């Protein structure tokens, strides 16, 4: 049976104390449509999404489903009306299994008891939708804590689907997925459309918007500023709606010579549980890219260099063999690592933005005069990254998803590292802030920092790096540079297909 729904949000307002998260949120979506909800970090996308699902209650405005005003007090009321969501903050309970998480609160019952057999079977059926795109290890009974970020994201999506919704909101649901997982999700979205579902899709990746959205609604500073039909618009127009002064967005790859600069990092035959012998060199002033599908060893490589996990093989910094046994030693030697998973690795959510930014460089500012400088340095980094915040003293928990990620990046930039390791750092960051971040990276590179940069976004690697190593199954499956550094070759090397020389 074909599903049917129309949903309209009108003049929605949400304030937190003195902060206006949303001042005039409007959108409309109906069966068979994908509506992209666009806007810079902090523009109110997640707030509007949460108002629709009853997770937060608006100060003003209304939501209409099938023409009738509704006011959901909880997400479960919204789900009963056929509306479910994948939130930007992951919501799974680490100690429970995949299947317990998915069916929590709506377990299949038999004679009034939870029917575990049925639960297992239904979970397997859901997992099969992403078959082949996660490790065999992801089973209905696996605890969430054993899963990688992309696998958790898949479980979040399956959980939202388990309610068999008429409308689904995907808030940055693709940010942790690799390109194959995204492709599968988009196939599912096409099925959902055909079944008459409506989809609200939040993403900072323009390429994704143009692939699957039918319409776009743009928020700026908490206000809906425009609606467009995708077939009748272009990137430029959407970005102009999103941010004023969007001129800095064009990314150009610049040719530059690094071979004459000294070698900063040498790795020889590095092995971990996942890595099967990786060797590479990074010069001062080089931004070396790491590509490939998720979980092929990119994180392991960065963590092993940083001394956060055990490895064998040789690691040298400026010619001196230094196998760090602890991140502290790496940090003392001028190495910094920007993690990709901000929730668990990067931030103390209840502490202030300033405290979080200072976490990594505390010792270098350890005097009262130092503290004043720490504040102004932090303020500068925050400004350069265009952080949207009430003040440096506001808690990190009050920031939008993308702005929280900027704190993670900022905290390492403050240290002015000699070797910077980046683990997929721009997930969920809007186009404007990304451009600022790219500029910062280029500045760091030009001032001689050696940078090793893993990104799940092929566009970033193609736009910023002169050389990209593609990892597949714990090994370097290709080293691409010059004319070889193309999207086609990047994708085929990601699949483990080594192209001929
Ligand atoms: N609980 C809260 N307390 C105070 N301010 C908040 C709270 N939640 C959100 N805000 C503020 O409201 C604004 C809108 O946040 P929201 O999360 O909706 O943005 P977003 O468009 O989803 O951004 P992103 O792209 O970074 O995810 C931000 O400036 C944010 O700091
Ligand atoms: Mg958000």
3-class DSSP assignment, residue 23: strand
Residue among 206, 202, 244 at smallest CA distance from 27: 202
Q: What is the DSSP string of 159-180?
A: HHHTT--SEEEEESTTTT--HH
Ligand 1, pocket-test mutation among 17, 19, 172, 390, most atoms within 8 A of CB? 19
17-33 pLDDT, tens digit each: 878 999 999 999 999 99
Query: How far, CA to CA in Å, does 387 sit from each of 65, 269, 429, 455?
Result: 35, 40, 11, 21
Ligand 1: does its nearest atom lie under 6 Å from the Cβ of 401?
yes
35-81 pLDDT, tens digit each: 999 998 889 999 999 999 999 999 999 999 999 999 999 999 999 99
> What whole-number distance in Å separates Cα of residue 424 and Cα of residue 77?
36
Residue nearest to atom 17 of ligand 1 (CA): 400
Q: What is the DSSP string of 244-306?
A: SSGGGG---------TTSPEEEEEEEEE-SS-EEEEEEEETT-EEEEESSTTSSHHHHHHHHT
> What whole-number distance in Å separates Cα of residue 148 and Cα of residue 130?
15
Task: Find the 257 Cα to ligand 2 centroid distance in Å.
Answer: 39
Ligand 1: does its nearest atom lie under 6 Å from the Cβ of 432?
no
Q: Residue 452 — pLDDT band, cuts 50, 70, 90? A: very high
Candidate CATH numbers 3.40.309.10, 3.30.413.10, 3.40.920.10, 3.40.50.300; the one for domain 263-494: 3.40.50.300
> What whole-number distance in Å separates Cα of residue 69 and Cα of residue 235?
34
Classify residue 415 as exposed, middle or buried by CB count within 10 Å of its CB (0-12, 13-18, 19+): middle
- Note whether 57 and 48 are within 8 A (CB): no
Most confident of 213-222, 251-260, 441-450: 213-222
Total residues found in the chain within this entry: 501
Ligand 1: does its nearest atom lie under 6 Å from the Cβ of 43?
yes
Ligand 1: does its nearest atom lie under 6 Å from the Cβ of 404?
no
Q: Which of 99 and 497 is assigned the larger pLDDT? A: 99
Ligand 1: does its nearest atom lie under 6 Å from the Cβ of 176?
no
313-353 pLDDT, tens digit each: 999 999 999 889 998 899 889 999 887 765 555 677 778 88
For the chain, give every residue range classified as CATH 3.40.50.300: 6-244, 263-494
Ligand in closest contact with the CA of 21: 1
Task: Find the 208 Cα to ligand 2 centroid distance in Å.
Answer: 16
Is the pLDDT assigned to residue 246 strictly greater than 60? no
Candidate CATH numbers 3.40.50.150, 3.40.50.920, 3.40.50.300, 3.30.1180.20; the one for domain 6-244: 3.40.50.300
Ligand 1: does its nearest atom lie under 6 Å from the Cβ of 402?
yes
Instruction: For residue 222, count other CB atoms closer than 10 A to its CB.
Output: 22
- Bridging pattern class, strands 312-317 and 60-65: unpaired
Ligand 1: does its nearest atom lie under 6 Å from the Cβ of 19?
yes
Ligand in closest contact with the CA of 170: 2
Residues sharing a CB contact under 8 Å with residue 380, sequence separation 6 or more, in sequence order: none
pLDDT score, position 499: 44
Ligand 1 atom with minimal separation from the 404 CA: 26
Structural tokens at position 173: 């649901």
Ligand 1: does its nearest atom lie under 6 Å from the Cβ of 399?
yes
Task: Find the 390 Cα to ligand 2 centroid distance in Å.
Answer: 16
């Amino acid at each position: 049976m074909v599903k049917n729904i129309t949903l309209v949000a009108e003049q929605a307002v949400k304030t937190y104390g003195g902060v206006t998260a949303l001042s005039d949120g409007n959108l409309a979506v109906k069966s068979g449509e994908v509506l992209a909800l666009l806007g810079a970090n902090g523009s109110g996308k997640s707030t509007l999404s949460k108002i629709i699902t009853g997770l937060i209650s608006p100060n003003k405005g209304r939501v209409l489903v099938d023409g009738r005003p509704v006011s959901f007090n909880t997400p479960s009321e919204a789900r009963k009306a056929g509306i479910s969501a994948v939130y930007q903050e992951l919501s799974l309970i680490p100690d429970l299994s995949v299947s317990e998480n998915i069916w929590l609160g709506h377990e299949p019952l038999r004679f009034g008891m939870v029917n575990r057999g049925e639960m297992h079977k239904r979970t397997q059926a859901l997992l099969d939708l992403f078959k082949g795109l996660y490790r065999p290890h992801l089973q209905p009974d696996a605890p969430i804590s054993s899963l990688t970020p992309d696998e958790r994201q898949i479980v979040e999506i399956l959980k939202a689907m388990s309610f068999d919704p008429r409308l689904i909101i995907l808030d940055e649901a693709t940010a942790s997925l690799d390109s194959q997982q995204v492709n599968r999700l988009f196939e599912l979205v096409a099925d959902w459309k055909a079944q008459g579902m409506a989809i609200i899709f939040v993403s900072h990746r323009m390429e994704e918007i143009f692939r699957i959205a039918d319409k776009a609604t743009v928020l700026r500073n908490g206000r809906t500023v425009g609606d467009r039909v995708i077939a009748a618009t272009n990137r430029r127009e959407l970005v102009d709606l999103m941010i004023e002064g969007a001129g800095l967005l064009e990314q150009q790859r610049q040719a530059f010579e690094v071979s004459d600069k000294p070698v900063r990092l040498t790795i020889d035959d590095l092995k971990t549980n996942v890595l099967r012998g990786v060797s590479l060199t990074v010069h001062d002033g080089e931004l070396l890219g790491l590509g490939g599908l998720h979980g092929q060893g990119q994180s392991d490589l960065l963590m092993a260099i940083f001394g956060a996990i055990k490895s064998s093989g040789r690691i040298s910094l400026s010619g001196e063999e230094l196998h760090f046994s602890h991140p502290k030693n790496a940090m003392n030697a001028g190495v910094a690592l920007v993690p990709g998973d901000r929730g668990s690795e990067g931030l103390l959510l209840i502490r202030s933005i300033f405290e979080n930014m200072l976490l990594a460089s505390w010792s270098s500012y350890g005097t009262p005069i130092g503290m004043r400088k720490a504040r102004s340095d932090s303020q500068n980094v925050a400004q350069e990254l265009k952080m949207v915040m009430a003040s440096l003293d506001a808690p990190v928990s009050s920031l939008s998803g993308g702005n929280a990620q900027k704190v993670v990046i900022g905290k390492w930039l403050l240290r002015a590292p000699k070797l910077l390791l980046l683990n997929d750092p721009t997930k969920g960051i809007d186009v404007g802030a990304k451009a600022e971040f790219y500029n910062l990276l280029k500045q760091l590179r030009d001032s001689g920092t050696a940078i090793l940069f893993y990104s799940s976004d092929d566009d970033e690697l193609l736009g910023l790096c002169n050389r990209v190593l593609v990892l597949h199954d714990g090994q370097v499956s290709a080293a691409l540079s010059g004319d070889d550094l193309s999207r086609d070759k990047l994708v085929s090397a990601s699949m483990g297909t080594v192209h001929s020389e």
